Structure formats: C-alpha cells, structure tokens
Amino acid sequence: MVRVPIVQKVNYSKSEDYSCRDSFVITDFETGEIICQNCGIVIQNVDLQENYEKNVFKNFDYASHGGNRSSLRFHDMGLATIIGKTNQDSSGKALGFPMKQALNRMRLWDSRSQAKTSSERNLRYALLEMEKLKEKLALSDAIMERSAYVYRKAAKAQLIRGRSIKGVLGACVYIACREMDATRTIIDISKSLQEDKNSIARNYRMLFQNLKLAVSVPDFTKCIIKIANNLEMPENAKREAIHIFDIMKGKKLTAGKKPNAVAATVIYMASIKTNLNLSKQEIARMSGVTPVTIRNRYKEYIQHVK
C-alpha cells in the first residue's frame, strides 16, 4: 500500500521562517515532511501528530493501527482470537485459584480448537513452512499471498491427500513465482525446502492440469542477468549476452528450451567474445545445468553468431 500525500489548506502566518501566506501545503506522512506547493520549501517547525490524527483516518486505507489485516497466509485468515495469559479480571484484581484452573483449561481447549481436523492441521503446517521459505528465498508478500491461494485451492479440490506437503507447497510457490515473474527455479525451491525436485515438478504438472492455471513463459533475460550477477560479470559482458540471446530469439532457436540452459550458453558465448576467463564448469555450477548441455547448445548456436 502506498500512501498518497495529503493536500490541505493551512495558515502559517505566525511562522517567521515561512514566506508564503495562506497557501496550500502538501503533507507527506511517509517522510514526515510538510512542503509548500508554491515555493517548495519544507516546513520543519510544524507538529505532525495533530494533523496526522485528523486527516489520516478519514480514509480507511490509512487505518494502520486497527489490528492485523486478514490474509490468506494465516491458517485462520488472521481473524481468530485467543485467550490472553494474564490471570486478572477487568478491574485488574488477581483471580482466585479455582478460576485460574478453569481459565487454564479454557486456554487449552481454545488452542486445540484452532486446528480440529486433519485438513486444518495440514494447512497450518504448510503455511508455516511457506513463511520459512519466504525468508530463505527473499520472496515478496504478493508471491506468498498467491502461493497460499493456490495451496488453498488445491486443498479444496482434494488434490493434496496422499501427497507430500512440501512437494505440493514447493509447486504452489513455483507457480506463484512464474506468475509474478520472479526468477526462482525448482532447484532453488527444492534446496530450500529440502525436498526432491522431481516431487515438486510432478506436483507442479498435477496442479497445472487440474486447476487449469495460466502460467506465463519464464523470462530468459532475467535468467541471464541472475546468472551473470552470480558470476560477477562486467556490464559489457551482460549486454553482449543479451544481444546474443536476441539474435537466437529472432531466429526462433530458444523455443521449448530450458531457460537456464539457454542463459548459460549465451553467457559462455559472451565470455568468449569479451575475453573473460570463465569455464563451462563454473557457469554450469551457477546455472544448475550440466557442462554437456552447455556444449550441445553452444554447437547449435555458434552457427548463427559471428
């Protein structure tokens, strides 16, 4: 959510440092600045708290302290309530011993009631693993929301029963990364989840066929930039690799090929052209393909590039 600066009419005639009188000012609550719309001067000696409380809650989008928002990333959508740990009544007095025992039992059953069935426990565990995967792969909140939506959709269609939770979870995250144009491969997800990549790929095909998803083709250019950054290549070599890829794409030689294999091959060709000391083994290690694949693609592409 991006907060739009608020334009308001304020009289600063009492201020000695402010030249404009009775003019419009722009209040930006993200940076804490009040800026004159006429001369562009930043007014520093204005209390923001009063204006913030008056203006920021007129629009419900700005109500940031109204509690946690509802999200698909929580098993209960973020709408559940829990019994607190304080053993005090509304007036602050300590509870008696019989009431403490009753309250402790209420807390126990309250925690148990949040995941009663096996499907709810499955969803709770899967979304917890998804949050761990977010930190490992540095994924955005939008990708995680989409991943949780796909997983809930698969659970509703009863596609998870009898399958590995991590396998289906990895497939959901991979689908969300493909839809959001994030350069995360199945190998990256399998290493972070400690799950077999064949299991993730198999579940990905199953979800793709049953949920009728429209997944976009991965961007080859982003794969080239990612591998080149990992190899610490100079900028001229990156541009040369993208230029070689454009030539291959114009001749329709990249259709149906693995993105990492094509990216590794054009990077190898660009390293030769720019006199970089990069071997096939080093490029293959960074891209997740074999040197044999790079050699085969190189023999195919070298005929079309000078």
Q: Helix 197-210 vs helix 165-179: angle between axes, to the nearest 10 degrees?
A: 70
What is d(CA 114, CA 82) in angstroms, rounded to the nearest whole number?
9
**Which helix H or strand E contains 6, and what residues bound it?**
strand 6-9
pTM of the model: 0.59
Nearest to 288 by CA among 223, 233, 240: 223
Strands across the sheet with 33-36, in order? 6-9, 24-28, 33-36, 42-43
Whether residue 194 contacts residue 250, with contact meaning beta carbons closer than 8 Å, is answered with no
Query: What is the structure's pLDDT at 54?
Result: 45
Per the listing, tokens 């698909």 go with 72
What is d(CA 205, CA 130) in angstroms, rounded to the nearest whole number?
20
SS3 sequence of 62-129? HCCCCCCCCCCCCCCCCCCCCCCCCCECCCCCECCHHHHHHHHHHHHHHHHCCCCCHHHHHHHHHHHH
Query: What is the structure's pLDDT at 75?
Result: 64
Query: What is the structure's pLDDT at 78?
Result: 60
Cβ burial, residue 141 (10 Å; 0-12/13-18/19+):
exposed
The DSSP result for 9-70, as a single string, is E---TT-SS----S-EEEEETTTTEEEETTT-PEE-SS-HHHHHHHHTTSSGGG-TTS-PPP
**pLDDT per position as a tens digit, 4-54:** 455 455 555 444 555 565 556 777 655 667 777 777 677 654 444 444 444
Query: What is the structure's pLDDT at 168?
Result: 92
**pLDDT per position as a tens digit, 201-233:** 999 999 988 988 877 777 788 888 888 888 888
Show the domains of the chain with their CATH numbers.
Answer: 6-62 (2.20.25), 120-210 (1.10.472.10), 220-304 (1.10.472.10)
How confident is the chain (306 residues) per 10-residue block, as mean pLDDT?
48 53 63 71 55 43 49 66 76 83 83 72 86 87 89 89 90 89 85 90 90 78 87 89 89 82 91 88 88 90 81
DSSP 4: P
Residue type, 92: G
* Residue 56 CA neighbour count, 13 Å, CB half: 19
The backbone torsions φ and ψ at residue 94, rounded to the nearest 5 degrees and listed phi first, read: -70, 145
